[in-house]
Chain A
Amino acid sequence: NAGVTQTPKFQVLKTGQSMTLQCAQDMNHEYMSWYRQDPGMGLRLIHYSVGAGITDQGEVPNGYNVSRSTTEDFPLRLLSAAPSQTSVYFCASRSGRETQYFGPGTRLLVL
């Protein structure tokens, strides 16, 4: 049982480039979400999904897209990277309103 996995672990982008952060879970959780963590701030919700085919915006969705074609996968797309998107990104999953499980994170640097 791998839990929540994320790739890549680290990425450097130039302003304007696009990329996809991958997230997968093998716990058959219906809820998945993406958070970003910035120094001096708590984790903030970007987008979330309550099941395959259903996504919605969180607190800081601008500049990001998501899709959920399967229960297992929840990729996060940066459409046109900006320096303000330099952050650590965490994917998480849960069943119901219970314990939230987090992936190891992706460190993104936008130059």
Chain B
Amino acid sequence: KQEVTQIPAALSVPEGENLVLNCSFTDSAIYNLQWFRQDPGKGLTSLLLIQSSQREQTSGRLNASLDKSSGRSTLYIAASQPGDSATYLCAVRPLSGANNLFFGTGTRLTVIP
């Protein structure tokens, strides 16, 4: 069974700092990987989707990379802002059983003004 791990569980940084969130998965047979943002008491908002054939995706200040062979993905946030404070979740869609997304438990990010 696919296992997804996100370390650290929580992270605090001062405003303006660049930061990296990590996601690792145990089975490299994936179709794609998706990064989500979750605000307290809210649903999940999709940030970036990386197909298994891609190495990275960018959206504004966010850049997600994927190294499928090593089972790792990173989410890079440039020039962090207090509004970036949220929990960030990564999820992988396997090649087999592709109707399921396997989620990590998330990294709770706090950006201090």
Contact = CB atoms under 8 A, between A and B. Distances in A.
Interface residues on A, range: 20 to 34
Interface stretch (B14-22, B39-47, B60-68): B39-47
A108 B105 CA distance: 20
Contacts of B49: 98-99
B34 A99 contact: yes
Nearest to B48: A99
Please report whether the interface of chain B is mostly helix, strand, loop or mixed according to DSSP: strand
Interface residues of B, number: 24
Nearest to A39: B105
Contacts of B106: 42
A42 B103 contact: yes
Contact of B105 (A4, A42, A56, A103): A42
A69 B8 CA distance: 42
Contact of A48 (B41, B91, B99, B104): B99
Nearest to A38: B105
A40 B105 contact: yes
Interface in A34-66: 35, 40-45, 48, 50, 56, 58-59
Given A40-B105, A42-B105, A99-B49, A105 B43 contact: yes
Contacts of A42: 4, 89, 91, 102-106
Interface in B58-89: 89
A42 B102 CA distance: 8
Contacts of B7: none
B100 A59 contact: yes
Given A99-B46, A100-B91, 12 more contacts: A4-B43, A42-B91, A42-B102, A42-B103, A44-B103, A59-B100, A90-B43, A97-B31, A102-B45, A103-B43, A104-B43, A105-B43
29 contacts: A31-B99, A35-B101, A42-B4, A42-B104, A42-B106, A43-B89, A43-B91, A43-B103, A44-B103, A45-B100, A48-B99, A48-B100, A50-B99, A56-B99, A58-B99, A59-B100, A90-B43, A97-B32, A97-B98, A98-B49, A99-B46, A100-B46, A100-B91, A100-B101, A102-B36, A102-B44, A104-B43, A105-B42, A105-B43
